[in-house]
Amino acid sequence: MSEAATTVNPQITDSVTQVNTKVVGETPAMAMGNLLVSTSHALSTGAHNATSAQQQGQITMHAATVQGVNSLMSVGSAVIGRTSEEIIEKK
């Protein structure tokens, strides 16, 4: 075999070394970026769920308030009706 077929060009080995160094150097930053993205996604999902639960609670409280007001109004009508009936019967 010839000497040229068994040796590797030094420019190629330098290029491969630089690429490997670049990849190894970027790995911690990529890992931290992935961690931050997944954490922010989880936090935003939690905030969205909390907001949705609060809205549903407000709707339930409004419905309970309306039912209470309706009950109070119907009791008032019944009392007015009974009082009017007693007044009419006394005459």
Tens of pLDDT, residue by residue, the chain (91 residues): 555 567 888 887 878 787 778 778 888 889 999 999 999 999 999 999 999 999 999 999 999 999 988 887 777 666 777 777 777 777 5
**Does residue 44 sit within a domain?**
no
Is 75 a member of any domain?
A: yes
pLDDT, position 76: 64
**Residue 22 domain-assigned?**
no
Q: Which amino acid is at 73?
A: M
Count of the separate structural domains present in the chain: 1
Look up the domain containing 73 and give its range: 64-91
At residue 2, the pLDDT reads: 56
CA distance 70 to 64: 10
pTM of the model: 0.52
Task: Answer yes or no: is 83 within a domain.
Answer: yes
Q: Is residue 76 part of a domain?
A: yes
Domain presence at residue 54: no
Amino acid at 30: M
| 8 within a domain of the structure (yes/no) | no
In a domain, 16, yes or no: no
